[in-house]
Amino acid sequence: MLRGEITTAIRRALMQELAAVGYGRLSIEAVARRAGVSKTAIYRRWNSKLDLVLEVVTAAAGARLPALDTGALRSDLALLFQVVAHALAHPLAAQIIPDLLAEAARNPTIDETFQQMLRSRQQEIVGGLITRAVDRGELPATTDPDVAVDLIVGPLYWRLAIARTPFTDSYLETLVDSVARALGAGDPLPRQRPAPTSG
């Protein structure tokens, strides 16, 4: 394999192994075996199991989202919820995220890295969404961005990590309206009925 292919294979193997056994039982030997490479190939790129996990998971979490600017708060929220729910519902994410959140409670390095990563992503994604809604007059200027992040992101992670309940279209639709109202948005505009035709 070429150097880039080896790195890609290691990253893929790491995610699969992490989902299969969790961080506590994860070993470099098992990742190397799954990737079809030597342990040396991994240690040339990462110093430890922790470095490998943090780099790969952070890169996966930092993947670019589509532009979330539809011109209206509710449709921005609907798109965000659909994208995030799809990502969190992936079998690997559904197994890895709860395990790493539990590990972060025991490992200060993982916890600090996750906190930095989450804060930057939340500000980039949710902060921009809220700022645009305030600028359009859909939300009051006093909207607290930290509370907004909790209201927007919290239900999705709760459903994934605690309730472990699948996301449904009806749940996401209800969530959009509930979050919009909780943030202080008014009722959605009623749909215009077509004017009756004379005849």
Q: What's the pLDDT at 136?
A: 92
Is the confidence at residue 66, as pLDDT, over 70?
Answer: no
Confidence of residue 64 (pLDDT cuts 50, 70, 90): low
pLDDT tens profile 159-173: 877 787 888 889 999
Residue 145 corresponds to which tokens in the numbers above?
């961005």
Q: Give the single-character DSSP code of 195.
A: P
> What is the model's pTM?
0.71
Interior/surface letters 38-54, b for 16+ CB within 10 angstroms, e for the rest: eeebbeeebeeebebbb
pLDDT tens profile 29-52: 999 999 999 999 999 999 888 888
CA-closest candidate to residue 156, choices 94, 101, 85, 79? 85
Residue 183 and residue 143 in contact, taking contact as beta carbons nearer than 8 Å = yes
Is the confidence at residue 197, as pLDDT, over 80?
Answer: no
Q: How far apart are CA 77 and CA 192, in angstroms?
A: 22
pLDDT tens profile 137-165: 999 999 988 888 888 888 887 887 778 78
Residue 67 corresponds to which tokens in the numbers above?
């532009």
